[in-house]
């Protein structure tokens, strides 16, 4: 009888070990789910605060735009209007809202991309024009935080190599003519990017595909 009990206990222990590899314990799953829900709430709160601040800054910039327009400084007015458009665009106002939508007892659909993920998406690929009449035929993101821009697909020498950085989970590049960091938007399917390029007079939004 004692032997039978020992064998049964051993079998149950092995069975339990086998199950533990297939599925996490309930208390572990609950804790992880609570973490996911907390992250969603924190990101949603952050996003709300960011959008409120963006709206406040956009309102102030409109007064700057009015002064620049009234003084006849159209070049400055156009640059200010570009910044207002970026602050109030649907893309700018949805950096993480869609990514953090949840339903009860379900995980986040997609979290905001990490810096490592952003670099992985952009680096190591040749990005070619897909819209907006870009000035460059190929752009290549490099691991040394620079962006090589080529006027010819067969060229091996970049004609423009601005610095890049990741700020608030967004890739940016330094635009020398405007003296500002410009955002680079990554599409949901990660196959297309959008960015503002060109001279201060012909500053426009362009798109590239892998």
Best CA proximity match to 135, nearest among 152, 123, 147, 122: 152
pLDDT at 16: 47
- CA end-to-end distance (rounded Å), the chain: 69
Asked if residues 159 and 150 have their Cβ atoms less than 8 Å apart, the reply is: yes
Residue listed under structure tokens 């200010």: 80
Largest CA distance in the chain: 100
Q: How do residues 165-179 score in pLDDT, each as one tens digit?
A: 999 889 999 988 888
- Spatial separation of the C-alpha atoms in residues 175 and 155, rounded to whole Å: 22
- Spatial separation of the C-alpha atoms in residues 193 and 209, rounded to whole Å: 7
Residues of the chain falling short of pLDDT 70: 1-22, 90-111, 200
pLDDT at 158: 94
pLDDT at 141: 96
Instruction: Write a three-state SS string for 86-104.
Output: HHHCCCHHHCCCHHHCCCC
φ/ψ of residue 202, rounded to 5: -115, 35
pLDDT at 111: 63
Say whether pTM exceeds 0.75: no
pLDDT at 18: 46
Q: How do residues 7-53 score in pLDDT, each as one tens digit?
A: 444 444 444 444 445 678 888 888 888 888 888 888 888 888 888 88
Neighbours of 176 (CB within 10 A): 12
pLDDT at 36: 83
pLDDT at 98: 44
Residue listed under structure tokens 């680096």: 123
What are the sequence ranges of the domains in the chain? 1-111, 115-209
């Amino acid at each position: 009888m004692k032997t039978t009990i020992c064998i049964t206990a051993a079998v149950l222990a092995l069975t339990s070990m086998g199950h533990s590899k297939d599925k996490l314990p309930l208390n572990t799953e609950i804790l992880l789910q609570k973490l996911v829900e907390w992250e969603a709430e924190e990101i949603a709160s952050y996003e709300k605060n960011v959008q409120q601040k963006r709206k406040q800054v956009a309102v102030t910039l409109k007064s700057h735009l009015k002064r620049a327009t009234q003084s006849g400084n159209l070049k400055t007015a156009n640059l200010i209007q570009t910044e207002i458009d970026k602050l109030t665009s649907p893309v700018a106002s949805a950096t993480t809202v869609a990514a953090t939508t949840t339903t009860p007892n379900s995980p986040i659909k997609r979290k905001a991309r990490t810096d490592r993920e952003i670099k992985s998406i952009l680096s190591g690929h040749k990005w070619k024009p897909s819209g907006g009449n870009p000035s460059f035929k190929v752009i290549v993101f490099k691991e040394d935080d620079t962006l090589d821009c080529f006027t010819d697909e067969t060229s091996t020498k970049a004609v423009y190599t601005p610095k890049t950085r990741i700020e608030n989970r967004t890739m940016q590049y330094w635009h020398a003519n405007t003296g500002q960091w410009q955002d680079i938007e990554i599409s949901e399917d990660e196959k297309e990017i959008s960015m503002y390029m060109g001279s201060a007079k012909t500053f426009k939004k362009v798109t590239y595909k892998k």
